[in-house]
A and B are shown apart, each in its own frame.
Chain A
Amino acid sequence: MSTNKITTQKVNFKVFRFNADEDYLPYYEDYSMDVTSEEVVLDILNRIKWDHDGSFSYRRSCRHGICGTCAIKVNGRSTLACKESMTEMIKIFGNELTIEPLSKKRAIKDMIIDKADFWEKHEQVTPFLDAEIDENPTLENLVSPAEANALDEADLCIQCGACHYACPVVEISDAFMGPAAFAAAYRFEADVRDGNESRLTDVNQMGSGVWDCVKCFECAEACPKEINPIEKIGKLHNMLFQSGQADSNIATRHAVGFVKSIKHNGVLDEGGLVLYSELAGIVKHVPVALKMFSKGKIVPPWGITKSDNLDEIQKLVKSSSTAKF
């Protein structure tokens, strides 16, 4: 049992306020409150509404970290309000906290956003078990622990949108499906009971596809359920290669190009990799490449210092490769 005493400290909040029906621009309201070490972020939202301004609006429901409705941002950090302790927020950011909706540009009223883009993308990945069901089974359908573990906790997703609106690609590109939709796709692709035959192809082709992740790990940090969506995106990449569905495009050639380069040099041939990935598209890089060359930033293939003991690397590439393209 923890014997920690409840402590109190003063925190200044800057709170995003906006009413799409009335306001031309959003503004921030300041509130100063004594915050106890036991409170979660949702307690603060409640106190703003109950003690300061009854018109303050936000979504909440279960208060148990399971309905996924109360996600907001504190100092830019995606946060499930009912789960995140104020002590942790103060520890990270100090006593000046900014409360904002998950996506400012999608704000309807205060913390409430229009999450339509999230749901539309989620829906497109066939986010349900697609299986032929025997309506009169004589035996249970057993799933082994190993098969269940293959989901890698992707089934814990509560669709709160924390990762989706933390993703910098989603923020600037409507075509990108986003980490939550991809994690959902993985969750059902990895399910031994699922029989859907087009989901993986869909994921590869819908929107801007599955290859535009910038690998920033914002989604991994944002997820209140620690699902690690970026890892699931990587697994979808692996599945596409393993199932032979990875078509030849810039991103797939880029991934495969590393093996080619490593086999040849141990180290990367940076120019060779861009050429292999882009093919004829290489021409668009020529102006910058010429400038880089003039500054000593491009090493020609014959000038690359290969790794020592290259034979070891070549042997390992041969014996340890598990994928084909």
Chain B
Amino acid sequence: MGKLKYALFTGCTAKQSTPEQMMSTMAVADKLGIELVELTEASCCGASHLQDYDDFLSLVLNARNIAYAEKHGLTMVTICNTCQLNTAMTKHRLDNNAELKARVNEKLQEVGLVYAGTSKITHFLYAIIDDIGLDKIKEMVTTPLSQFNIAPFYGCHNIRPSELQNETHDTPENPYNPTSLDDLIIACGGVSVDYEEKNKCCGFHAELQSPKVAATLTGNAIAGAMDGNADWMVTPCPLCHLKLDTQTGHASHAIGREVSLPVLHMQQMIGLALGCPPETLGMKHHLTKVDFV
């Protein structure tokens, strides 16, 4: 097997409010021998809000991002669930609607680009599971996380809508009973915590317009993990991470109970298990102290 190489769509968050996610992505890719070609031309995906205002513009901009991955002839890897959804949904809609694809390409032509539909789009979590394999991860673990109960928090946009599952990775999972992150925790030597909120919403997308609802959902998620006796949580989504890590004050207030747990990005958890030096994983950027490293 040659060296794994992907086009990396970082999304905006990894470059701004979750710098630790960018650091740990690069550290883990290095450890796993993955080459990531960063799509520095990419724009914001619109985060599922731009489309509420202007659906066509959202399609054009996402198609442009994909066109750059296609130029490299590479699978596009995302590290944010919402980037994953918006990009994969754009691909899904264009690949299934020739007229829409033609309209989008008419625009892309103005800047010398074309969307062909040749690049697969997958989240880093699934790229690791599909292309490296959990057995290989298990073999590579140098610091098993065996003393930790770890609560997986999947994040909506990796698991719903399920119609995208078959298009984005080889191991489609059911949104009502997802397993990928649990399996990854186990491969890293940890104990995965089963709790009701693991596949539920963190509230991120309504945080500004509906802060109480958003904070309640965040609070319920952390409370569920705490009641499941988790030592910490792990998520593949930087937006979920922002809610769970930085909004514990609002969340506690909303549900009338003090809730707080360290929350790791999926990449940080893999990095710890594979023996990456903790300082390369950026835990110092978290608001909720990661006290066990």
Asked if A255 and B49 sit within 8 Å, CB to CB, the answer is yes
Asked if B41 and A295 sit within 8 Å, CB to CB, the answer is no
Decide if B146 is an interface residue (CB 8 Å cutoff): no
Decide if A101 is an interface residue (CB 8 Å cutoff): no
| Contacting residues, chain A, for B284 (C-beta < 8 A) | 295-296
B-contact bits for A83-125, CB 8 A (1 contact / 0 none):
0000000001100000000000000000000000000000000
Decide if A136 is an interface residue (CB 8 Å cutoff): no
Known A-B contacts: A216-B201, A288-B247, A316-B57. Give 7 more (CB < 8 A).
A92-B177, A213-B205, A214-B205, A221-B162, A254-B49, A262-B43, A316-B107
Once the chains are docked, how many angstroms separate the CA of A168 from the CA of B215? 12
Asked if A323 and B53 sit within 8 Å, CB to CB, the answer is yes
Once the chains are docked, how many angstroms separate the CA of A4 from the CA of B108? 49
Expressed in whole angstroms, the minimum distance between the Cβ of B239 and any Cβ of chain A is 10
Asked if B161 and A214 sit within 8 Å, CB to CB, the answer is no
| Chain B interface residues toward A at CB < 8 A | 12-13, 15-19, 40-44, 46-57, 60-61, 64, 107-108, 110-111, 113, 156-157, 160-162, 174-177, 196, 200-201, 203-206, 208-210, 212-214, 216-217, 246-247, 249-250, 284-287
B-contact bits for A284-325, CB 8 A (1 contact / 0 none):
000110011001111100001101110011011101111101
Which residues 99-158 in A have Cβ within 8 Å of B in the complex? none
| Contacting residues, chain A, for B43 (C-beta < 8 A) | 262, 266-267, 307, 313
Expressed in whole angstroms, the minimum distance between the Cβ of B123 and any Cβ of chain A is 15
Which of A249, A251, A261, A317 touches B57 (beta carbons < 8 Å)?
A317
Which of B12, B46, B51, B204 touches A270 (beta carbons < 8 Å)?
B12
Taking CB as reference atom, which chain B residue is nearest A292? B246
Taking CB as reference atom, which chain B residue is nearest A274? B208
Decide if A43 is an interface residue (CB 8 Å cutoff): no
Decide if A278 is an interface residue (CB 8 Å cutoff): yes
Taking CB as reference atom, which chain B residue is nearest A278? B208
Taking CB as reference atom, which chain B residue is nearest A284? B211
Asked if B49 and A217 sit within 8 Å, CB to CB, the answer is no
Once the chains are docked, how many angstroms separate the CA of A322 from the CA of B54? 6
Which of A168, A259, A317 touches B201 (beta carbons < 8 Å)?
A168
| Contacting residues, chain B, for A173 (C-beta < 8 A) | 210, 212-213
Which of A234, A251, A252, A278 has the most B CB atoms < 10 Å from its CB?
A: A251
Asked if A258 and B46 sit within 8 Å, CB to CB, the answer is yes
Expressed in whole angstroms, the minimum distance between the Cβ of B172 and any Cβ of chain A is 12
Taking CB as reference atom, which chain B residue is nearest A321? B57
Task: Take A208-B210, A258-B50, A319-B107 as given contacts and tell me if A270 and B17 are in contact as well, using a CB distance cutoff of 8 Å.
Answer: yes
Report the number of A-B residue pairs with Cβ-Cβ less than 8 Å.
Answer: 204
Q: Which 10 A-B pairs have the closest CB atoms?
A: A217-B160, A216-B201, A237-B52, A251-B209, A268-B12, A255-B53, A258-B50, A312-B111, A323-B54, A215-B205
Asked if B53 and A298 sit within 8 Å, CB to CB, the answer is no
Asked if B285 and A218 sit within 8 Å, CB to CB, the answer is no
Decide if A256 is an interface residue (CB 8 Å cutoff): yes
Which of B12, B53, B60, B286 touches A320 (beta carbons < 8 Å)?
B60
Which of A288, A297, A299, A315 touches B110 (beta carbons < 8 Å)?
A315
**10 CB-based A-B contacts, threshold 8 Å:** A168-B201, A169-B210, A214-B201, A216-B201, A217-B175, A254-B208, A268-B47, A297-B17, A305-B15, A316-B61
Bin the interface of chain A by size: 35 or more
Task: Take A277-B208, A321-B54 as given contacts and tell me if A267 and B44 are in contact as well, using a CB distance cutoff of 8 Å.
Answer: yes
Once the chains are docked, how many angstroms separate the CA of A208 from the CA of B54? 22
Which of B17, B107, B157, B200 has the most A CB atoms < 10 Å from its CB?
A: B17
| Contacting residues, chain A, for B200 (C-beta < 8 A) | 168, 216
Asked if A217 and B156 sit within 8 Å, CB to CB, the answer is yes
Asked if B56 and A169 sit within 8 Å, CB to CB, the answer is no
Decide if A238 is an interface residue (CB 8 Å cutoff): yes
Once the chains are docked, how many angstroms separate the CA of A322 from the CA of B61? 13
Asked if A168 and B217 sit within 8 Å, CB to CB, the answer is yes
| Contacting residues, chain B, for A307 (C-beta < 8 A) | 40-43
Expressed in whole angstroms, the minimum distance between the Cβ of A202 and any Cβ of chain B is 18
Asked if B176 and A93 sit within 8 Å, CB to CB, the answer is yes
Decide if A250 is an interface residue (CB 8 Å cutoff): yes
Taking CB as reference atom, which chain B residue is nearest A230? B161
Expressed in whole angstroms, the minimum distance between the Cβ of B44 and any Cβ of chain A is 4
Once the chains are docked, how many angstroms separate the CA of A308 from the CA of B68? 11
Once the chains are docked, how many angstroms separate the CA of A262 from the CA of B208? 19
Which of A220, A259, A297, A312 touches B18 (beta carbons < 8 Å)?
A297
Once the chains are docked, how many angstroms separate the CA of A258 from the CA of B46? 6
Taking CB as reference atom, which chain B residue is nearest A294? B287
Asked if A217 and B161 sit within 8 Å, CB to CB, the answer is yes
Expressed in whole angstroms, the minimum distance between the Cβ of B161 and any Cβ of chain A is 5
Asked if B287 and A295 sit within 8 Å, CB to CB, the answer is yes
Once the chains are docked, how many angstroms separate the CA of A207 from the CA of B44? 32
Decide if A241 is an interface residue (CB 8 Å cutoff): yes
Taking CB as reference atom, which chain A residue is nearest B48? A215
Once the chains are docked, how many angstroms separate the CA of A77 from the CA of B61? 35
Decide if A172 is an interface residue (CB 8 Å cutoff): yes
Decide if A212 is an interface residue (CB 8 Å cutoff): yes
Asked if A237 and B205 sit within 8 Å, CB to CB, the answer is no
Taking CB as reference atom, which chain B residue is nearest A79? B176
Expressed in whole angstroms, the minimum distance between the Cβ of B251 and any Cβ of chain A is 11
Which of B15, B156, B249 touches A216 (beta carbons < 8 Å)?
B156
